[in-house]
Each structure stands twice: as C-alpha cells, then as structure tokens.
Amino acid sequence: MPSKPPLVLLHGVTMSERVWDDVTPLLAARHEVITPTAVGHRGGPPALRRPARVEHLVDDMERRLDVLGLGRVHIAGNSLGGWMAIELARRGRAETVCALSPAGFWEAEDGSRSAATRRIAREAITGRLLGFLAPVGLRSAAVRRIALRNIAVHGDRISSAQALTCLRDLLGCTVTADLLGTDEQIAALDPLPCPIKVAWSERDRVLPEHIHGPIARKRLPEAVFTILPDTGHVPMIDDPRLVAQTILTTTSMTTAEAS
C-alpha cells in the first residue's frame, strides 16, 4: 500500500495524463499521485467496446484501482475527468472529489449538451487541420496563446513541447466522436457519498459556469462550489499552483466540512 494517501488525477477528453505534469510535483509531498490515461486516449488502453461511453471509462478506472489494491482514493479530475471522478464517488471509490469544470452537467432539452460538444468538436477539427503547422508555429508564445484560447487563458505559459503534446494527444484520441455523441449525463447525487468540491474556471469557454454551474448545484446540492479566477477550461495550463492548492484543500476536507 502507498505510504501516503493515494490521489488519482483524471484528464479531460482528447487529453492524457501528461496534462497534469506541472501539477503533480506540487502534490507529491502529501500524496502518492496516480495519473492514468483513460481508455481510447493516447497512451491509454484501447477501447474494446464501441461506441465508447463514459460508463465504460469509469468501469476501466475502477478495474485499475482493483488491480492496484486500492479501495477508496482521493480523486481530482478536469472536464471528462471530473465527470468520471463523480461517478467513481457514486460507486463508493472516492475519499474526496475535486471536480474541475466537470462535463456531464447539462440538459439535453435546453441545448446545453449539444452546445458544449460542438465546441469540443470544433477544437478537434481545428487541431487536425493545423496539425502539420504545429511544430513550427507552437514555438511562438503568441501562437500558443491563440491556438489554446478555447481551453486556456494563458496558453503561452506552457512550453512549445507541452503544447505539441496537447495536439498529439488530441490527434491520437480514438474515442472523441463516441464520447461527444453519448446521451449520458451526471444524475443527481444526494446525499453525497464523500466530500465533493466543484471548482469552475472563471473564463471557461467550453463549459461556461453560468450555463452548467446551476445544473451542477441542483444535482449536487451538498457539494462545495468555488471559482478559479483567470483560468480557462483546462486550468492546469493557466495556473498549476492554484489547481494544486484547490486539490489539496479538497483532500483535507472532512464530511462535516463538506456539508
């Protein structure tokens, strides 16, 4: 068993464990950090069931916890990863959850799901169209800021190598269309099975808080909600220190503090 409390970090759709590279060292003193790559994503296990569903990714993550001999763990996730973290909590596998701009809080009838998935799909199409220019263009901080503007406020803060990794992860994801086409969403969870903090990026262009936040508050009425200032949908790009601090305050929460 790990000598420190295990903490699992779950990435968003089209990304990989590498998106946590600047956050992980800031957590290592307090936690045994585990950064898996999800099914169908670059570096993760292949998707054996198609179309892939979020449920399948959660099933796989639960099996991986079993293989590691881990029962309940602290979990933090961004976007799709936040959705998976909440579903793992529903299954009794979480000590705490920190969900960063989680996907899955939408209403099919009001168009919030289709609007969000269209934005992500446009990112994927743009990445494929511009992929051949990336190695040269991403050397420029200004180009990185523009290229990543839909997921980050300060895309220039990551290196050209990191930006290229984001692109390669996007191009290497085999389940993008499957997950964007799913009819799944996060159902109400009341009472909470563990402390849950939902931290929404202030300048999220993919899942704007003013649209998805109220739905999340309705479905997770006992959760703690906060805003991450001056960050975009993937806040690990904009402010890894703030993300780490937010996660650590969550893993320190007790059930009483969360209520």
Any domain includes 246:
yes
Any domain includes 201:
yes
* Whether residue 191 has a cis bond before it, omega within 30° of 0: yes
Mean pLDDT across the chain, nearest whole number?
A: 91
Identify the residue with better confidence: 210 or 128: 210
Assess whether pLDDT exceeds 70 at residue 190: yes
Neighbours of 145 (CB within 10 A): 17
Any domain includes 208:
yes
| Nearest residue to 192 via CA among 102, 254, 252, 142 | 254
Any domain includes 158:
yes
Identify the residue with better confidence: 5 or 259: 5
When pLDDT is cut at 50, 70 and 90, the band that residue 258 belongs to is very low
Take residue 256 and report the two structure tokens written for it: 């009483």
Give the total number of structural domains in the chain.
1
Any domain includes 250:
yes
At 108-161, the pLDDT tens digits run 666 667 777 777 777 666 666 555 556 767 888 888 898 889 899 999 999 999
Mean pLDDT over 99-108 rounds to 92
Q: Which pLDDT value is given to residue 259? A: 40
* Structural domain that includes position 158: 6-258
Q: Which pLDDT value is given to residue 74? A: 98
Any domain includes 206:
yes
- CATH number, domain at 49? 3.40.50.1820
Q: Which pLDDT value is given to residue 256? A: 44
Percent of the chain with pLDDT over 70: 90
Q: Which pLDDT value is given to residue 60? A: 98
Question: Looking at 180-184, 210-214, 236-240, which range is the least confident one?
Answer: 180-184
Evaluate whether 178 touches 53 at the Cβ level (below 8 Å).
Answer: yes
Any domain includes 200:
yes
Greatest alpha-carbon span in the chain: 52
Any domain includes 1:
no
At 26-74, the pLDDT tens digits run 999 999 999 999 999 999 999 999 999 999 999 999 999 999 999 999 9
Q: What is the pTM of this model?
A: 0.93
Name the pairing type of β-strands 224-228 and 196-201. parallel
When pLDDT is cut at 50, 70 and 90, the band that residue 78 belongs to is very high
Take residue 24 and report the two structure tokens written for it: 């992980």
